[in-house]
C-alpha cells in the first residue's frame, strides 16, 4: 500500500531532551516536506526537500533540523525542544512540483 | 509576506445544499499552483482539487469546483449537493511563486459543518 508513515504518533517529552520524528514513504517520491499545525494558524511548512541531500527552509525552520540521506526517509530533529514546539506535525511527500501531496497520519508532540 | 487568507473560520450548510468557501492569496508571480485540502476529524489531509494558475478553466472534481479569479487573486471552493461526509476543516494552499523552491503556504482553514 502506498503510504507515508510517521513515528511516533504521540510523544510527550521535556524541555531540552533531543528527539527525532521519523518519516518514511514507499512511493519513490522526490519531494518531501514537514509541517506543523496549530489552532488558528493552519499548516506551516518547516522544511522541505526536493531530492536526496537537497533540503531548504520553509516558513518556520527555527529550532528544527532535517536530513535526507535516502530518498524514502526524511526525519525531523528537535535538538532542544521547547514548549512552543508543542504541536501536531505532518510529513508529506509528492512525486513532483505540482503533484498531489501525500500526508502522513500526524505526530502529536507535547513538550513540558 | 506571501499569504493565503481564508476569512471564514466556520461555515454551515444543510445537507444537499451548496456552499462556497472563500480563499484569497498574495503573490507577485505568474506561475503558481493552488489547492484545496480537506482534513476530517481523523486528521488525515486529503487533496480535494488543484488548479494551475496558467489555466483559465476552473477545475472540477465531481461535486467540487473552484472559481479561480487570477486578477483578483481569489480561489473559492464550491461544494454542491453537500453530504455529511463533507464535514471537515478545509485548507486553501498555494505552491510556487518562488522559482526553484517548493514552498507551500496554507491558509488558516475553514471548518465546515453539514446539518442533517
- DSSP structure class, residue A100: P
A19: cell is 528527539
Tell me the C-alpha to C-alpha distance, in Å, between residue A50 and each of A33, A105, B9, B10: 9, 21, 32, 34
| 3-class state of residue A83 by DSSP | helix
From the list B43, B96, B108, the residue facing A41 with the nearest CB is B108
Mutate to test the interface with A, among B55, B102, B106, B107 (most CBs of A within 10 A): B102
Give pLDDT tens digits for A8-51. 999 999 999 999 999 999 999 999 999 999 999 999 999 999 99
From the list A31, A42, A48, the residue facing B91 with the nearest CB is A42
B chain contacts of residue A56, beta-carbon cutoff 8 Å: 101-102
Percentage of chain A with pLDDT > 90?
A: 93
CA distance linking residue A62 with residue A43, whole number of Å: 16
CB proximity under 8 Å: B 25-54 to A:
33, 37, 43-45, 47, 50, 52
Tell me the C-alpha to C-alpha distance, in Å, between residue B17 and each of A56, B86, B115: 43, 12, 10
Q: Answer with the residue of higher pLDDT: A75 or B98.
A: A75
Tell me the C-alpha to C-alpha distance, in Å, between residue A59 and each of A44, B63, B74, B111: 6, 33, 22, 23
Judge contact between B16 and B114, C-beta under 8 A.
no
At residue A96, does pLDDT exceed 90?
Answer: no
Phi, psi of B71 (to 5 degrees): -65, -35
Percentage of chain A with pLDDT > 70?
A: 100
B31: cell is 506561475
Judge contact between A104 and B59, C-beta under 8 A.
no
Supply angle C-alpha A48, B9, A109, rounded to 5. 45
Give pLDDT tens digits for B42-101. 999 999 999 988 888 999 999 999 999 999 999 999 999 999 999 999 999 998 755 677
H or E element at residue A10: strand A10-13
Q: How many residues does chain A have?
A: 112
CA distance linking residue A65 with residue B88, whole number of Å: 31
Phi, psi of A37 (to 5 degrees): -120, 125
Amino acid at each position: 500500500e502506498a503510504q507515508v508513515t510517521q513515528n511516533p504518533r504521540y510523544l510527550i517529552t521535556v524541555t531540552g531532551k533531543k528527539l527525532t520524528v521519523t518519516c518514511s514513504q514507499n512511493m519513490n517520491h522526490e519531494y518531501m516536506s514537514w509541517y506543523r499545525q496549530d489552532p488558528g494558524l493552519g499548516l506551516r511548512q518547516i522544511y522541505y526537500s526536493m531530492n536526496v541531500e537537497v533540503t531548504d527552509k520553509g516558513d518556520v525552520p527555527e529550532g528544527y533540523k532535517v536530513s535526507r540521506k535516502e530518498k524514502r526517509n526524511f526525519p525531523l530533529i528537535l535538538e532542544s525542544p521547547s514548549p512552543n514546539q508543542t504541536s501536531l506535525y505532518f510529513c508529506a511527500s509528492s512525486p513532483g512540483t505540482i503533484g498531489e501531496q501525500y500526508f502522513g497520519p500526524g505526530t502529536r508532540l507535547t513538550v513540558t | 509576506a506571501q499569504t493565503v487568507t481564508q476569512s471564514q473560520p466556520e461555515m454551515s450548510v444543510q445537507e444537499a445544499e451548496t456552499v462556497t468557501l472563500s480563499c484569497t492569496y498574495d503573490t507577485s508571480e505568474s506561475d503558481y499552483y493552488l489547492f484545496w485540502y480537506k482534513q476530517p476529524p481523523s486528521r488525515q489531509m486529503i487533496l480535494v482539487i488543484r488548479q494551475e494558475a496558467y489555466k483559465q478553466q476552473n477545475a472540477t472534481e465531481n461535486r467540487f469546483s473552484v472559481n479561480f479569479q487570477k486578477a483578483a487573486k481569489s480561489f473559492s471552493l464550491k461544494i454542491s449537493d453537500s453530504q455529511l461526509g463533507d464535514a471537515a476543516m478545509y485548507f486553501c494552499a498555494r505552491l510556487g511563486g518562488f522559482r526553484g523552491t517548493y514552498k507551500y503556504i496554507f491558509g488558516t482553514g475553514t471548518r465546515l459543518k453539514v446539518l442533517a
